[in-house]
């Protein structure tokens, strides 16, 4: 099975490469006139990006969910540091794409009517990135909120940052990304019944090629919000580039469950049936109950590397997150005290308050282990691993083929309009090229269908053996699949 899947990735890359070459030859022949040539070159440039993307496979995790369901909290928990703004009151504004890198970088894409600077921002640390996003006066998100109040046509900011992410750097318990697959986390604005459509227009380009993490809120009482979210998720999963298995469902904030609430298993079973029906899935999906906040505090107390923060001269950060864990996650702390005797003693003696003066690596790693268990972080990472092992081909190949189809379709439409305008002149060459492009569209669609039927990887190791990794930075890199044109 793995052999077959590897061949699929290689075949998809070869097919896109050959389409690109064919169009390059047509461009050299100058068959389409000056206007057509510009369009042809644009199409070639897009195909080049798609082609190179397939040779640098990247696991993209995109967080979609209703407002305040805990998307940004979960993202930060997975990242191992606070980068996506989280807030109880105001909702997240804009799209934040975070790619793993040894370097720290930040770049803002051009969007319509923007009231903030586009291009590269000078940042030296994750704190500086956070300030550029979140500063109440000058931060991009605050500027956006003020601007959109005055002019509803202002589009959400799209921000790309690069920084070290825990799963790529040994900081994540029970999970390590294969070295030759990149990781990108995509934080998206929350959806509600009113804003679902408008926000979805902004974010749908961001979902191409991503494994969707659909974050539902345990405390959500408004069914309309969930319905709006599920309707948009259905649209996304139905679109050409997606695979119905490229999704993980999470019911977050389950620590908010009261003693008199319906049993959690029953809530989950009911929700699974509802999701299956609304998304027209073949199987009843697994929904992971989580407490992202607990996971967030412990993972950020530990950091992004194998060596914990408090051994890297940043004990204050550890201390702060443990303190916050104690205050914000009282229910989880209480449950853990009941369950783990050694935790109770250690926590009650406030040993954790002495992180700086006493090496507590063993204690904190044990604590992290328990919190992984309690918050279901463990099950979450196991599920990602399963997806990576089983569906990697479809997750990575589908968007490349779908991007190719989009590019060719756009180009075919341009050729059609050239033909329309030039009814009297010589049109044979253009007509021929259009027919050929349309054949390529049909062939690529057939390939996409094939990947959806058979595209599975059973061993991620083989992906890394097969595909060569080329590190790429943010600076100067235009976005894939024309994502900048929002």
Ligand X SMILES: Nc1nc2c(ncn2[C@@H]2O[C@H](COP(=O)(O)OP(=O)(O)OP(=O)(O)O)[C@@H](O)[C@H]2O)c(=O)[nH]1
**Helical spans, DSSP H, in 280-329:** 292-302, 315-328
Alpha helices in 136-221 (DSSP H): 140-150, 166-169, 196-203
Q: Which is nearer to Mg ion, 177 or 292 (CB)?
A: 292
Among 255, 275, 374, 448, binds ligand X (CB under 6 A): 255
Instruction: Decide: is 72 part of the binding site for Mg ion (CB under 5 A).
Output: yes
Please, what is the minimum distance in Å from the beta carbon of residue 297 to ligand X? 10
Q: Does 303 bind ligand X (CB under 6 A)?
A: no
Binding status of residue 297 toward ligand X by CB under 6 A: no
Which residues are 65's β-sheet partners?
A: 215
Q: Which does 69 bind (CB under 5 to 8 A by kind): Mg ion, ligand X, none?
A: ligand X
Which one of 69, 92, 299, 375 is in contact with Mg ion (CB under 5 A)?
92
Contact between 247 and ligand X per CB under 6 A: no
Residue closest to Mg ion when measured from CB atoms: 92
Contact 271, 277 (CB under 8 A): no
CB closer to Mg ion, 72 vs 272: 72
How many other CB atoms are found less than 10 A from the CB of residue 230?
A: 20
| Alpha-carbon span 411 to 40, nearest angstrom | 7
Residue of the chain from 68, 272, 299, 444 that contacts ligand X (CB under 6 A) = 68
Q: Are 144 and 154 in contact (CB under 8 A)?
A: yes
**Are 73 and 255 contacting, i.e. CB atoms less than 8 angstroms apart?**
no
Q: Which of 5, 81, 86, 404 binds ligand X (CB under 6 A)?
A: 86
Label each residue of 72-125 as H, E or C. Answer: HHHHHHHHCCCCCCCCCCCCCCCEEEEEECCCCEEEECCCCCCCCCCEEECCCC
CA 306 to chain centre: 23
- What dihedral angle (degrees, nearest 10) is formed by the CA atoms of 196, 199, 200, 202? 170
434 binds ligand X per the rule CB under 6 A: no
Size of the site for Mg ion (CB under 5 A): 3
Pairing of strands 158-163, 182-187: unpaired
The residue range among 71-79, 193-201, 353-361, 412-420 that interacts with ligand X, by the rule CB under 6 A, is 71-79
Neighbouring C-beta atoms of residue 252, cutoff 10 Å: 28
Task: Give the C-alpha distances (Å, rounded to integers) separating 8 from 13, 177, 182.
Answer: 9, 22, 19
Q: Single out the segment in contact with ligand X by CB under 6 A; choices: 60-68, 102-110, 198-206, 472-480.
A: 60-68
Least distance (Å) from ligand X to the CB of residue 232?
13
Question: Is 300 a residue that touches ligand X (CB under 6 A)?
Answer: no
Among 293, 309, 322, 418, binds ligand X (CB under 6 A): 293
Q: Which of 92/376 has CB closer to Mg ion?
A: 92
Considering beta carbons, is residue 49 or 290 the nearer one to ligand X? 290
Q: Specify the DSSP class assigned to residue 286.
A: P
Q: Name the minimum Å distance from CB 3 to ligand X.
A: 41
Q: Which residues bind Mg ion (CB under 5 A)?
A: 71-72, 92
Q: Which residues bind ligand X (CB under 6 A)?
A: 65, 67-73, 86-88, 91-92, 189-190, 252-253, 255-256, 291-293
């Amino acid at each position: 099975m793995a052999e077959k899947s590897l061949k699929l990735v290689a075949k998809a890359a070869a097919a896109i490469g050959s389409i690109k070459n064919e169009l390059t030859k047509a461009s050299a022949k100058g068959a389409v006139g000056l206007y057509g040539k510009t369009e042809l070159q644009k199409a070639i440039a897009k195909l080049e990006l798609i082609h190179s993307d397939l040779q640098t496979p990247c696991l993209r995790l995109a967080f979609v969910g209703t407002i305040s369901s805990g998307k940004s909290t979960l993202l930060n928990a997975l990242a191992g540091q606070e980068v996506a703004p989280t807030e109880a009151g105001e909702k997240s504004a804009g799209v934040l794409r975070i790619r793993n890198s040894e370097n720290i970088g930040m770049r803002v894409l051009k969007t319509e009517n923007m009231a903030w600077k586009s291009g590269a921002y000078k940042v030296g640390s994750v704190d500086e990135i956070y300030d550029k996003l979140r500063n109440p006066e000058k931060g991009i998100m605050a500027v956006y909120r003020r601007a959109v109040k005055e002019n509803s046509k202002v589009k959400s900011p799209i921000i790309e940052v690069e920084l070290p992410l825990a799963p790529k750097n040994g900081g994540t318990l029970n999970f390590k990304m294969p070295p030759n697959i990149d990781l990108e986390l995509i934080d998206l604005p929350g959806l509600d019944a009113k804003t679902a459509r408008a926000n979805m227009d902004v974010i749908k380009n961001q979902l191409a090629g991503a494994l969707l993490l659909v974050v539902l809120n345990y405390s959500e009482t408004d069914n309309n919000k969930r319905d709006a979210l599920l309707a948009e998720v259905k649209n996304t999963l139905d679109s050409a580039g997606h695979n119905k298995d490229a999704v993980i469902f999470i019911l977050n904030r389950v620590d908010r469950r009261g003693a008199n609430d319906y049993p959690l298993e029953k809530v989950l079973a009911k929700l699974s049936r509802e999701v299956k029906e609304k998304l027209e899935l073949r199987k009843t999906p697994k929904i992971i109950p989580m407490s992202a906040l607990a996971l967030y505090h412990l993972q950020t107390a530990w950091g992004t590397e194998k060596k914990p923060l408090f051994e890297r001269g940043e004990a204050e950060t550890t201390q702060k997150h443990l303190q916050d864990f104690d205050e914000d996650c009282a229910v989880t702390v209480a449950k853990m005290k009941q369950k783990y005797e050694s935790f109770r003693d250690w926590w009650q003696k406030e040993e954790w308050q002495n992180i700086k003066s006493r090496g507590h690596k063993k204690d904190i790693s044990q604590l992290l282990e328990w919190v992984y268990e309690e918050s279901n972080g463990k099950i979450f990472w196991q599920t990602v691993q399963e997806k990576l092992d089983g569906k990697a081909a479809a997750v990575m190949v589908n968007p490349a083929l779908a991007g190719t189809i989009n590019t060719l379709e756009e180009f075919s439409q341009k050729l059609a309009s050239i033909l329309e305008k030039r009814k009297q002149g010589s049109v044979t060459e253009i007509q021929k090229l259009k027919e050929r492009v349309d054949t390529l569209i049909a062939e690529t669609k057939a390939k996409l269908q094939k990947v959806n039927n058979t595209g599975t990887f059973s061993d991620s190791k083989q992906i890394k053996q097969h595909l060569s990794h080329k590190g790429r930075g943010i600076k100067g890199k235009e976005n894939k699949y024309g994502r900048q044109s929002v």
